[in-house]
């Protein structure tokens, strides 16, 4: 039985629930709803899991806050004995147009504090990351307000379809492999 750890990055608490920075949580919530799953609060995060095409997908929303995500990722990777190549970190990306999807097998943290902490904790940049574009439509010096801001009504309108596409990407990652998934979804 192949296991996959799918980690959606975000910040806990109602004030962050509908912010751009919490797209990782939002994608996992959409997937859990589609699969009729309930998250349970466990050590360092909220977890649920489901089986699909002979694979087990463990969904994790760390409760450590974004900047300390590495602790939760390392704990659950070890506890569930998931190989590093079967982990997928879902995060927001300012450098991609809104709703654009990009899967990568390695790379820098790109200035993202959650990815930086995961990289430092795991001592590697070679882990799969799924970046969801939130665009960079903010004025100089307003990046934090933008990232921690809520979706516009126009973005909200388009979000449902993008969430569905994100769910397809996650399932493809576990069943078709990372290379095929990158070819199918990157830039879509």
CB-count burial class (<10 Å; 0-12, 13-18, 19+) for 74: middle
- Distance from C-alpha of 141 to C-alpha of 159, rounded to nearest angstrom: 26
The 3-state DSSP class for residue 96 equals coil
Q: Which tokens in the block code for residue 63?
A: 């409760």
The 3-state DSSP class for residue 143 equals helix
Q: Which tokens in the block code for residue 55?
A: 């694979």
Q: Which residues are catalytic?
A: 21
């Amino acid at each position: 039985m192949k296991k996959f750890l799918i980690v959606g990055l975000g910040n806990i608490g109602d004030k962050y629930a509908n912010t751009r920075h919490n797209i990782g949580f939002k994608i996992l919530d959409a997937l859990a709803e589609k699969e009729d799953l309930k998250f349970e609060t466990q050590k360092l995060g909220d977890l649920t899991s489901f089986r699909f095409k002979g694979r087990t997908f463990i969904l994790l929303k760390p409760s450590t806050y974004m900047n300390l995500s590495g602790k939760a990722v390392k704990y659950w990777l070890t506890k569930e004995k998931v190989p590093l190549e079967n982990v997928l970190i879902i995060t927001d990306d300012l450098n991609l147009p809104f709703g654009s999807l990009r899967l990568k097998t390695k790379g820098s943290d790109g200035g993202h504090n959650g990815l930086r902490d995961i990289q430092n904790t795991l001592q590697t940049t070679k882990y799969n990351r799924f970046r969801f574009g939130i665009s960079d439509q903010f004025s100089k010096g307003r990046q934090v307000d933008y990232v921690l801001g809520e979706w516009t009504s126009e973005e909200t309108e388009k979000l449902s379809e993008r969430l569905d596409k994100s769910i397809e990407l996650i399932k493809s990652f576990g069943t078709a492999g990372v290379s095929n998934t990158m070819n199918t979804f990157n830039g879509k």
